[in-house]
């Protein structure tokens, strides 16, 4: 019997509870959880970890000649200082993302930080090449756990559109500018301390993030009843490692080398088998629904093409400044400050402010066109060029373009992902970025080397070029590679314009904290 007010009107019934599920009664929607009051401190912790992971991809580049002399490393083996990190990082990212979803992202974030710090200390104390290679591989393995945990924590912490745009602006700036920061820091540490500090520097950064993680990060403990897809991990990780290794070996051995062709074919076969298995596995490592969405697929393709085109500038411009113009390590590192500044401004001050009311595809496409213009300017460099009138404008355009692109790519590619898949979705985005960087470096370096050889060969008997032929040949090779990079960046602009949604999503989707 229902209770009534004194006037005879029935009293309002109590709100429905989880146990009141009668078919004729509509259960009210759950009230969204209030925002975490410590979310901006959480962003600072996540940003520290992201900066450490990204800058470590380039921080040892300028320190590598010193490390090679110190440890007695051969020319053939020195590439493993770079390759050991990228192989482990790129090959294990999907596995790391799924582990984060199953175990809990906060927990794997802390484990990744601690492991990365320990591996960095081991590398800094390396007594020989083998110890350094192993430490770099360990860094990559722990980065593969840390990077998707960091991005998915960001995704589940910020769900309000305006706050999400600001947070991803910071994250995009670090993702795009971290590589340039690595060159700057590596140059400073190498010249004023020694090469070992390019690895030791990670320890205080990781410790600072470890101190803040327990206090500021919020996450569920993990998904109950989940299982790790071991066959998928072996197929996907093996395929990515084979591809990255094949790309890294293509330059010294040649693209027609049987070992290179075997690695590349094996990588493709393993990845095809991985896709087949993911469509049938009970608990897939990569649920295909994540990449079947057209907007997300377009954002991933844009990121991959952007990193393919972008990473050439770090490799070629470093050689141009040091070898052709004769810059010392510190001056070379500082020369990249404008691109870092441009990325920060483009991501945090322009894209973050425009994204809530501007279609993501407009920002992405505009950014790629600006970056392509910067590459075209770099293609006009000569052996007698000067930094301010010739290099600086190109770096500013590249920085602004990348900042405008990376921020909406990160925000759009992770929007609408269910909380239980946030880690693996973040891992896919990081994998695309890592594979794009590896592929771009190898492909464009092969193009530049071939163009240089042809130029030198065609001018070797030309007395008008004299002893300047080698420098001119190098600059010519870089110019050809810059034109190719510009083409790739314009293709990224086209892909973003055709595939990414026309309107900014009104909300973050289903990626709120569970």
Strand partners, 10: 4
pLDDT tier for residue 502 given thresholds of 50, 70 and 90? low
Domain co-membership, 261 together with 157 = no
Domain co-membership, 339 together with 466 = yes
Per residue, what are the HEC states of 12-65?
CCCCCCCCCCCCCCCCCCCCCCCCCCCHHHHHHHHHHHHHHHHHCCCHHHHHHH
User: Is residue 49 within 8 Å of 144, Cβ to Cβ?
Assistant: no
Q: What is the mean pLDDT of residues 374-397?
A: 93
pLDDT of res. 223? 55
Identify whether 298 is part of a domain: yes
pLDDT of res. 220? 57
pLDDT of res. 17? 41
Domain co-membership, 211 together with 338 = yes
Identify whether 430 is part of a domain: yes
Identify whether 292 is part of a domain: yes
Identify whether 85 is part of a domain: yes
Q: Note the pLDDT tens digit of each residue in 392-433.
A: 999 999 999 998 998 889 888 877 777 666 667 777 887 788
Instruction: Provide the domain count of the chain.
Output: 2
Domain co-membership, 406 together with 447 = yes
Domain co-membership, 348 together with 380 = yes
Q: What is the mean pLDDT of residues 364-372?
A: 95
Q: What is the mean pLDDT of residues 252-275?
A: 89
Comparison of pLDDT for 206 and 82, the residue scoring more: 206
pLDDT at 494 over 90: yes
Question: How many angstroms separate the CA atoms of 375 and 487, rounded?
Answer: 9
Domain co-membership, 138 together with 154 = yes
Q: What is the mean pLDDT of residues 86-96?
A: 80
Domain co-membership, 297 together with 370 = yes
Domain co-membership, 289 together with 271 = no
Comparison of pLDDT for 448 and 375, the residue scoring more: 375
What mean pLDDT, rounded, does the chain reach?
80
Strand partners, 4: 10
pLDDT tier for residue 348 given thresholds of 50, 70 and 90? confident
List the single range of 138-147, 205-214, 356-365, 415-424 with lowest mean pLDDT: 415-424
Last residue of a domain, one of 268, 284, 300: 284
- SS3 call for 336: coil
Question: How many angstroms separate the CA atoms of 155 and 167, rounded?
Answer: 9
pLDDT tier for residue 121 given thresholds of 50, 70 and 90? very high
Give me the CATH number covering residue 427: 1.20.1250.20
Q: Note the pLDDT tens digit of each residue in 163-196.
A: 777 787 777 777 666 777 787 888 888 888 888 9
pLDDT tier for residue 32 given thresholds of 50, 70 and 90? low
Identify whether 253 is part of a domain: yes
Question: How many angstroms separate the CA atoms of 131 and 154, rounded?
Answer: 34
Domain that holds residue 152: 39-217+285-499
Domain co-membership, 172 together with 277 = no
pLDDT of res. 126? 92
Identify whether 297 is part of a domain: yes
Identify whether 17 is part of a domain: no
Domain co-membership, 242 together with 349 = no
Last residue of a domain, one of 266, 284, 302: 284
Last residue of a domain, one of 240, 262, 284: 284
Domain co-membership, 363 together with 289 = yes
Domain co-membership, 409 together with 333 = yes
Cβ burial of 276 (10 Å; 0-12, 13-18, 19+) is exposed
Q: How far is CA 403 from CA 77, 122, 293, 410, 430, in A?
A: 35, 34, 24, 11, 16
User: Is residue 139 within 8 Å of 56, Cβ to Cβ?
Assistant: yes
Identify whether 1 is part of a domain: no
pLDDT tier for residue 24 given thresholds of 50, 70 and 90? very low
């Amino acid at each position: 019997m229902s209770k009534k007010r004194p006037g005879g009107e029935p009293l309002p019934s109590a709100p429905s509870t989880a146990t009141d599920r009668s078919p004729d009664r509509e259960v009210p929607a759950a009230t969204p959880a209030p925002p975490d009051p410590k979310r901006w401190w959480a962003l600072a912790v996540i940003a520290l970890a992201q900066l450490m992971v990204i800058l470590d991809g380039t921080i040892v580049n300028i320190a590598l000649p010193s490390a090679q002399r110190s440890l007695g490393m051969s020319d053939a083996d020195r590439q493993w200082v770079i390759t050991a990190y990228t192989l482990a990082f790129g090959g294990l990212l999907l596995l790391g993302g799924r582990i984060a979803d199953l175990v809990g992202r906060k927990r794997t974030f802390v484990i990744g930080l601690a492991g990365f710090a320990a591996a960095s200390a081991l590398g800094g104390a390396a007594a020989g090449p083998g110890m350094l290679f192993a430490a770099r591989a360990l860094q990559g393995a722990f980065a593969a756990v840390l990077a998707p945990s960091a991005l998915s924590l960001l995704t589940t912490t910020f769900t309000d559109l305006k706050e999400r745009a600001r947070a991803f602006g910071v994250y995009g700036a670090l993702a795009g500018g971290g590589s340039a920061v690595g060159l700057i820091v590596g140059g400073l540490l190498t010249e004023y301390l020694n090469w070992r500090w390019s690895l030791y520097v990670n320890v205080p950064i990781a410790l600072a993030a470890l101190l803040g993680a327990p206090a500021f990060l919020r996450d569920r403990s993990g998904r109950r009843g989940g299982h790790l897809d071991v066959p998928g991990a072996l197929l996907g990780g093996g395929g990515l490692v084979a591809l990255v290794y094949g790309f890294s070996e293509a330059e010294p051995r040649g693209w027609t080398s049987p070992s290179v062709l075997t690695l590349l074919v094996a990588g493709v076969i393993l990845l095809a088998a991985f896709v087949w298995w993911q469509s049938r596995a009970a608990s897939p490592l990569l649920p295909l629904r994540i990449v079947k969405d057209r907007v997300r697929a377009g954002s991933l393709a844009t990121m991959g093409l952007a990193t393919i085109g972008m990473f050439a500038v770090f490799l070629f411009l470093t050689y141009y400044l040091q070898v052709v113009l004769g810059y010392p390590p510190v001056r070379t590192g500082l020369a990249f400050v404008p691109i870092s500044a441009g990325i920060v401004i483009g991501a945090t001050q322009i894209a973050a402010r425009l994204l809530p009311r501007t279609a993501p595809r407009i920002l992405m496409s505009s950014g790629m066109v600006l970056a392509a213009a910067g590459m075209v300017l770099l293609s006009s460099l000569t052996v007698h060029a000067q930094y301010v009138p010739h290099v600086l404008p190109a770096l500013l355009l590249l920085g602004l373009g990348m900042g405008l692109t990376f921020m909406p790519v990160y925000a759009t590619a992770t929007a609408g992902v269910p909380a239980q898949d946030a880690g693996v979705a973040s891992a896919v985005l990081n994998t695309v970025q890592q594979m794009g960087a590896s592929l771009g470096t190898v492909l464009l370096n092969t193009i530049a080397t071939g163009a240089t050889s042809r130029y030198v060969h065609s001018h070797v008997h030309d007395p008008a070029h004299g002893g300047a032929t080698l420098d001119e040949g190098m600059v010519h090779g870089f110019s050809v590679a810059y034109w190719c990079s510009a083409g790739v960046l314009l293709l990224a602009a086209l892909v973003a314009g055709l595939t990414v949604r026309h309107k900014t999503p009104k909300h973050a989707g289903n990626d709120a904290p569970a």
